[in-house]
Structure 1
Amino acid sequence: MFCKTFHATHPDMMDSVTNDELRSRYLVQGMFRDGEINLNYSHNERFVIGGVVPGAAAIALPAQTEPASAAGRPFLERREMAAVNIGGDGAITVDGQRFAMKNKECLYVPMGSQTVEFEGQGARFYLASLPAHKTLPIKHITLDQANPLARGDLQNSNQRTIYQLVIPGVCDSAQLLLGLTVLDEGSVWNTMPPHLHDRRSEIYLYFELPTEADRVMHYMGEPDEMRHLVIANEEAVISPPWSIHMGSGTKNYAFIWAMGGENLDYTDMNVLDICQLK
């Protein structure tokens, strides 16, 4: 059912790790393949992330295959999910209710949903799912309905707009927080200074890198033991609670951030001074 399972890690496991081992533990690749749905499982908060590229035919969210006792049950039996379209026009149908999905629009799909189908030639859906303890209303969220936060400036190469999509006041959820950040032309830093979430894990999906040659340098690890990953378009990186997360690209880009943990407080973070990093 899952292309890859990512295990939770201790910061000591970063000691002497090779670059390939670092990529294997935290970098999620190959999610967006024509005509496929590809899901990955992370033991950090029991996240599931993946991509759907419907192409000419609709693709359904698969039923559970494990454990054996749950085989055949709906994938969202005990989960909630957000789907963001990062491609052309498409649609998502949930239990017979169809939602037209334009670029950068989000659909929150609640726990207990039975069938979810994706369609649209040129559509590319990013999925982020977490365990849930209650059922909430399904909601289609456009950028106009999101909560926008203007941050940074061109002088510091980090002028950007944070669109909060699945967050209290915009869309209720059990534990998922999700948003989309778009950097202005001339800006490359996605956050500065970096921060830590001791009580939640976060996953970044980088997309809209202008060319195949462009990359994001994603910085991670403990503040005084920093490492980096070189990330291509439409790849994601898992940030454990002990790891900072920030990045700088060769050009401006966009990214989707998804968080899960013990509360829904977006501001619950430990902001670091750049001088603390090494």
Structure 2
Amino acid sequence: MDIRYASHPNEVKGFDTSRLREEILIESLFRPGEVTLTYSHVDRFIAGGVLPTGGTIKLEADQKEMGAEHFLDRREIGIINIGGRGTATVDGTAYDMETKDCLYVGRGAKEVAFASADTSSPAKLYFNSCPAHQTYPTVKAVISEANPRHLGSLTNSNERTIYQYIHENGIRSCQLVMGLTMLKPGNMWNTMPCHTHNRRSEVYFYFDMPEDGVVFHLMGEPRETRHVVVRNEQSIISPSWSIHSGVGTSNYTFIWGMAGENQAFDDMDMVAMKDLK
């Protein structure tokens, strides 16, 4: 398990490119036959991925870092498949996972395991997890069952659809909010005009990008912005005090997950374009 600590905005102002990437960029999420875990001390958020290329792979707790026998003893988790068909098995019940299917698993599940239906086209299961103090039932949703929100315009190069899976009016959770955003062809900007929400942190996972494509992910305080170059299937830990926006070399898709004080998707502190520096 990779451990990341919280950084004060005044400290981040002095980071060079390498240090900034070390702090907030998760470069490798899918390793054949493994589960990868990155533990952020920002809202005790865990982001990870699993690439089943052989048999079944179990999600197990890092007992030293988590102090728990099972991964979900005191946590909940949201899982979205971005690869080939696979399964997620929760305490003996198997859930088929096609691409862009989402599975929420509540606190208290003892055993979670993953497998691919065809190892020549394996599943790629990306997940977010945060502490939970109440148990909600395990629920699966396909993308057609998510709540779609159509935002932006081609004129502003940000026409996109936000698919909400785990949220206050969808799959219920203790604090996790999760979904994905798909930009339409010819559109490159996400979340611009930008915002902050100091009550919640957020983790972005970028995918569906060409091999030579990049996203310039913007972060930092509105008057002290920075950027990080992100490539396909990489994640960014976005602190609650930071803006989170980005522009790509082509359209792309990203999964967003949030944890913090509330689950209100529209609870944002908008930043006027004239105030960005």
TM-score bracket for the superposition, by shorter chain length:
over 0.9
Paired residues, number: 273
* Offset of residue 55 of structure 1: 1.1
Q: State the secondary structure of the residue aligned to 2:20.
A: helix
CA distance in 2 between counterparts of 1:45 and 1:117 reads 25
- Which AA in structure 2 matches 1:82? G
Q: What is the correspondence of 1:1-278 to structure 2 with a 5 Å cutoff? A: 2=1, 4-66=2-64, 70=67, 73-120=69-116, 121=119, 122-209=122-209, 211-278=210-277
* Offset of residue 67 of structure 1: 5.1
* Offset of residue 271 of structure 1: 1.0
CA distance in 2 between counterparts of 1:82 and 1:160 reads 22
CA distance in 2 between counterparts of 1:67 and 1:34 reads 23
- Which AA in structure 1 matches 2:256? W
- Which AA in structure 1 matches 2:182? V
CA distance in 1 between counterparts of 2:61 and 2:263 reads 28
* Offset of residue 63 of structure 1: 3.0
Alignment RMSD: 1.1
* Offset of residue 64 of structure 1: 3.5
CA distance in 2 between counterparts of 1:128 and 1:77 reads 15
Q: State the secondary structure of the residue aligned to 1:24.
A: helix
Structure 1, 55-64 or 252-261: larger mean CA deviation: 55-64
* Offset of residue 19 of structure 1: 0.5
TM-score (norm 2): 0.96
Q: Deviations over 1:185-244 (max 9, x none)?
A: 1001011100001101001000110x2110000000000000000000011111111100
- Which AA in structure 1 matches 2:267? D
Q: State the secondary structure of the residue aligned to 1:66.
A: helix
Q: State the secondary structure of the residue aligned to 2:10.
A: helix
Contact kept, 8 Å, 1:145 with 1:170, in 2: the verdict is no
How many percent identity over aligned positions? 46
Contact kept, 8 Å, 1:196 with 1:243, in 2: the verdict is yes
Q: State the secondary structure of the residue aligned to 2:262.
A: coil
* Offset of residue 53 of structure 1: 0.2
**For structure 2, which runs of at least 5 residues remain unmatched after alignment?**
none
* Offset of residue 45 of structure 1: 0.3
CA distance in 1 between counterparts of 2:15 and 2:59 reads 35
* Offset of residue 16 of structure 1: 2.2
Runs (4+) of structure 1 exceeding 2 A deviation are none
The verdict on how the C-alpha distance between 1:14 and 1:67 changes in structure 2, with shifts beyond 3 A counting, is closer
Q: State the secondary structure of the residue aligned to 1:55.
A: coil
**For structure 1, which runs of at least 5 residues remain unmatched after alignment?**
none
CA distance in 1 between counterparts of 2:170 and 2:63 reads 33
The verdict on how the C-alpha distance between 1:31 and 1:67 changes in structure 2, with shifts beyond 3 A counting, is closer
- Which AA in structure 1 matches 2:45? F
Q: State the secondary structure of the residue aligned to 2:143.
A: coil
